[in-house]
A and B are shown apart, each in its own frame.
Chain A
Amino acid sequence: MRFVNTLAEKPWLNPDDGQASANYMVQDQASINLFGLRLLLAVIFVVFALFVGAYNMRMTYGDVNDLPMHWRLILNTSILIFSSLILHIAYTGMDKALASKQAVEIQLQRRIKCLYLIAGMTALMFVVAQITLCQQLMNLGYSLAANPANSFFYLITGLHALHIIGGVIYWCYCYRLCWQTDSWKTTETRQALHHQMRLCANYWHGLLLIWLMLLSLLLMT
């Protein structure tokens, strides 16, 4: 709606003497980053949505087999959900750390670091679990070329895992920041850390949502 209102403006009517720009909001780099990240997630979503579309179209050709993997997939998914959840808790812990005026208690710090570590590790675990799942399927004879369902499965999970790995690399950067005592000293540094964790959590949740979409696709067929 706001966009429609914008489009209805008549810019030629009122050149102003600074009135219109008085309520101008300068965007800080943090919200710019967040915006950019969400845009990126939207693009990644489009990539996978196109895979879903292609999958559905290809599946109508009737030469599709079923992969015996449902419960394993659900298990792996729960790992990913767990990871997202833990990251979220760590991030909300950071909220608390920001709110406190004095130096952050060591205990809270430790808790955040610990949760943060678990989140990263479980994400890695998810990737490993996906890889072993693929390997087992291959050993059972479900090779990539044997059937379109297999091809889609490997391609989609592989690409998704790559995105998770990208997230983990970013997570490493955040984790290093989290580990340095300097990051906890002043309000500014804590804010910076908080911001990084927020971006990280956003990416994590975004990829989780995308995975849930893919999972429902894989389970339905």
Chain B
Amino acid sequence: MTAPDTHSTYGPQSFWWKYIWSQDHKVIAIQYFITSLAIGLVALVLSWLMRIQIGFPGALEFIDANAYYQFLTMHGMIMVIYLLTAMFLGGFGNYLIPLMIGARDMVFPFLNMLSYWLYLLAVIILVCGFFVPGGSTGAGWTLYPPQAILPGTPGSDWGIIFMLVSLVTFVIAATMGGLNYVTTVLQARTRGMTLMRMPLTVWGIFIASLMALLAFPALFVSGLMMLSDKILGSSFFMPAIISMGQDPGYSGGSPILFQHLFWFFGHPEVYIVALPAFGIVSDLISCHARKGIFGYRMMVWAIVSIAALSFIVWAHHMYVSGMNPLFGFFFATTTLIIAVPTAIKVYNWTLTLWQGDIHLTLPMLFSVAFISTFLIGGLTGLFLGNVIVDLPLSDTYFVVAHFHMVMGMAPVMVVFGAIYHWYPMVTGRLLNTTLGHWHFWVTFIGSYAIYFPMHYLGILGMPRRYYAYEDYSFIPPSAQDLNAFITVAALIVGFFQLLFLFNLIYSFFRGEKASANPWRATSLEWQTPDIPPTHGNWGAQQPTVYRWAYDFNVPGHSSDFIPQNTPVMNEGKDHEIR
């Protein structure tokens, strides 16, 4: 039994156990969600500060070169790991997996709770890193040694230690979560929910969790080794080096070894964020275009093959590290091959829209925005995947533009779409649409205003990770105007994210009451006896699944959708039978 089919284990609880030390996957999901949003807000503010410095150099006194590097590092690390990874796996994964596969909870609820608290601890350590002597680390989110731990880099005393300890803690938390998600999907699906009947959201999160289990160890190992180099004076990564006129006593270590370990984690990491987004957006598009997803099987295959391939492409981040050209050839080939399943997915989303009954709801708008930004970002990825094209472009704003389009904007669009979509299920109320439209249009147009010019700046040769761009003869002065423009756009977009936060809170109290299944969705999470679902999710009886999640507009049926738990004989009838 996945869980006893009675209510006894899921009875009422006191406030403390219900909301704080909760083992309910839905509460843990919300905890993950709020925590990641809070720390994400810090990263957002950091990005404003950086942009102000670049657009209007010297406008803010307190941003010197050191502060700039610290902001840069913390912004990147928080966004990639503590916001996106945590929110997709810990937030959406936790909330949706059990509901979508018809389970009552995760299979290891206690471990699930522990995972959240360790994540919170990791975030707290990270935040403490801001306040230690010397401030947080400024080594760049890739934390490359030797500079990461040598004097001269801001935060090389304590900041880097806090960073690494926080990361190691995060990996343990993510592993606990990942074990839960993978085991739940494989072992606790309800009756009739075969793997190939799972919504693509579950597929995306499931495979991403599996990847996290295999990729995060590399971060863990490199984190421990760097800590040892820093604190115990070993020389895993540190070569013999004279630093500030002194010999810190290292010898013979290999910085390249760190790069390999880091990117063995780092590249899969981008897909750990991307795959859940892929999955979620597939479901949003299908539901809001009232049409079954085009090429379901191909979508699953693409997810699986992207996951497998992404473990053998990591060195495309290291083309400029002076590696053997044959390696470069190998990694360029695998990198370009990965574009094939990725492109298939983009075609399938488009073909799902083709002749669909498209409702331009906010989730749909954000989904289309996702396709658009992801397409642009993916295309520049193809540029960068070629060694000779990458060599001049690497470490310029072209790369910044690439990964912000593909990993910054695209998954964030999905996050927004998903929130507009599932908010009524979680809270019972709809988000305000007027505010939502303002949020959407400004974010969508704004993201192009911010990142499109960066491609051009990159081709001009503007290097990334510089604190100021004055007095470089190879950068024309007009670049500064463009930078100022980008900064203004970034501040406006940033402001509208606050509007979105306001909407989240406002609608919680004042939003329009939602009906039980406002988008008329087929998947199980909308078919619970209570909306919002209560502890134990399914009341007395877990649901039985009779079909896949994409029966929209099936010919010969009165209603334009058939929930997954509707048996064949009831097809023509209404969908009240929950």
Chain A residues packing against B (C-beta within 8 Å): 6-12, 15-18, 20-21, 24, 26-29, 31-32, 35-36, 39-40, 42-43, 46-47, 50-51, 54, 57-58, 61, 63, 144-145, 148, 150-152, 155, 159
Contact = CB atoms under 8 A, between A and B. Distances in A.
Given A16-B568, A145-B234, A148-B234, A39 B546 contact: no
Nearest to A31: B187
B257 A54 contact: yes
Given A16-B546, A32-B183, A155-B228, A7 B297 contact: yes
A39 B568 contact: no
Contacts of A152: 236
A15 B546 contact: yes
B65 to A, nearest CB: 31
Interface of B: 1-2, 107-108, 175, 178-180, 182-183, 186-188, 191-192, 194-197, 213-214, 217-218, 220-221, 224-225, 228, 232-236, 249, 251-254, 257, 260-261, 264, 292, 296-297, 300-301, 304, 544-548, 550-551, 562, 567-569, 571
Contacts of B545: 21
Contacts of B195: 6, 9
Contacts of A43: 175, 178-179, 213-214, 217
12 contacts: A11-B548, A15-B551, A31-B187, A32-B107, A36-B180, A39-B182, A42-B213, A43-B175, A46-B214, A144-B228, A151-B236, A155-B225
Contact of B568 (A7, A17, A35): A17
A148 B192 contact: no
B213 A39 contact: yes
A36 B183 contact: yes
Given A10-B297, A148-B236, 5 more contacts: A11-B196, A11-B548, A21-B546, A27-B2, A148-B235
B573 to A, nearest CB: 14
B194 A26 contact: no
A47 B175 CA distance: 12
B221 A26 contact: no
A173 to B, nearest CB: 13
A47 B254 contact: no
A192 to B, nearest CB: 15
Contacts of A148: 234-236, 252-253
Given A43-B175, A46-B214, A9 B107 contact: no
Contacts of A150: 234
Contact of B252 (A24, A36, A61): A61
A165 to B, nearest CB: 15
Q: Is the interface of A mostly helix, strand, loop or mixed?
A: helix
Contacts of B233: 144-145
Q: Which 8 A-B pairs have the closest CB atoms?
A: A21-B192, A15-B547, A151-B234, A145-B233, A11-B548, A63-B252, A9-B196, A47-B217
A12 B252 CA distance: 59
Nearest to A60: B254
Nearest to B178: A43
A25 to B, nearest CB: 10
A32 B187 contact: yes
B236 A58 contact: yes
A57 to B, nearest CB: 5
A36 B179 contact: yes
Nearest to A13: B548
A7 B217 contact: no
A38 B332 CA distance: 35
B196 A20 contact: no
A159 B224 contact: yes
A35 B186 contact: yes
Nearest to B251: A63
A54 B225 contact: yes
A159 to B, nearest CB: 7
A18 B194 contact: no
A26 B233 CA distance: 53
Instruction: Specify which of B1, B213, B235 lies most central, judged by the most chain A CB atoms within 10 Å of its CB.
Output: B235
B574 to A, nearest CB: 17
A84 to B, nearest CB: 23
A52 to B, nearest CB: 10
Nearest to A159: B224
A36 B187 CA distance: 10
A32 B410 CA distance: 36
B194 A11 contact: yes
Given A6-B196, A46-B214, A144-B228, A29 B296 contact: no
Nearest to B250: A145
Given A12-B296, A27-B2, A50-B261, A35 B191 contact: no
Contact of B228 (A8, A10, A151): A151
A186 B432 CA distance: 58
Nearest to B257: A57
A9 B194 CA distance: 10
A40 B569 CA distance: 43
A117 B502 CA distance: 59
B297 A18 contact: no
Given A18-B544, A43-B213, A29 B568 contact: no
A40 B567 contact: no
Nearest to B542: A26
A17 B546 contact: yes
Given A21-B545, A57-B254, A11 B568 contact: no
A143 to B, nearest CB: 9
Contacts of B253: 58, 148
Contact of B217 (A15, A21, A29, A50): A50
Nearest to A24: B191
A39 B183 contact: yes
A35 B185 CA distance: 12
A215 to B, nearest CB: 19
B232 A144 contact: yes
Contacts of A24: 191-192
A145 B235 contact: yes
Contacts of B547: 11, 15-16
